[in-house]
Amino acid sequence: MTPEFWHGKWQRNEIGFHEGRPNHFLMKHAGRLDAGAGSRVFLPLCGKTRDIAWLMERGARVAGAELNRGAIEQLFAELELAPEVTAAGPLQRFSAPGVDVFVGDVFALTPAQLGPVDAIYDRAALVALPAEVRRRYAGHLRGLTGTARQLLISYEYDQSLAKGPPFSVPADEVHALYGDGYRVQEVETAPVERGLKGLSEVVERIWQLTPRQG
């Protein structure tokens, strides 16, 4: 997907990926992030997700990365926060107490710019990327965060029947992408009750990724 594709989605308000409320799997499994008060949680390709407000209300500090500036301006307006906007290399950093979001290409974000991260919450990032980009993304995320623990949500469906995004990321691919650095544990699988992209047989898988020691 090109940057123009995603900018067009935001400009046309075609943001079906935006839930408008905290994700129920996050609320159910947030304890697996071990992200208590003061922990810093990174949300890649975050958009204006309400998950950010939910995490902040529970004392977490949130960092995000998002391509579209308008989405982040909407996010801070909804948070009722006035961000300080500064340059971070080729990206822009929107900062307010408890939250930092980097606007631009996530692959241009560096560990020094991001800073220390305790955990990653990936609801809509991996599944937004085509197969040829996902391995690069998984490696970049690991390098950015020092292999921080993750809560990952993926979709699985017959990709031959519909185009992404969101893309189907089969269980064996999740293991292949992350298994060298993490212990990969599937903690829940649930059908998407209203289907997805006109398909009725779609499941969401929730994964806990725990860094391997050594």
Q: Check whether 171 has a pLDDT greater than 70.
A: yes
Q: Check whether 15 has a pLDDT greater than 70.
A: no
pLDDT band with cut points at 50, 70 and 90 for residue 109: very high
Burial (Cβ within 10 Å: 0-12, 13-18, ≥19) of residue 74: middle
- How far apart are alpha carbons 28 and 79 in whole angstroms? 22
Cβ(1)–Cβ(128) below 8 Å: yes
* pLDDT at res. 164: 84
* pLDDT at res. 71: 93
Q: Check whether 208 has a pLDDT greater than 70.
A: yes
Amino acid occupying residue 16: G
SS3 state at 92: strand
Kindly report the CATH number assigned to the domain that includes residue 124: 3.40.50.150
Cβ(50)–Cβ(72) below 8 Å: no
Structurally, the chain folds into a number of domains equal to 1
Range of 133's domain? 3-211
* pLDDT at res. 2: 74
* pLDDT at res. 35: 72
Cβ(176)–Cβ(161) below 8 Å: no
Whole-model pTM: value is 0.93
- Residues 184-192, mean pLDDT to the nearest whole number: 95
* pLDDT at res. 18: 53
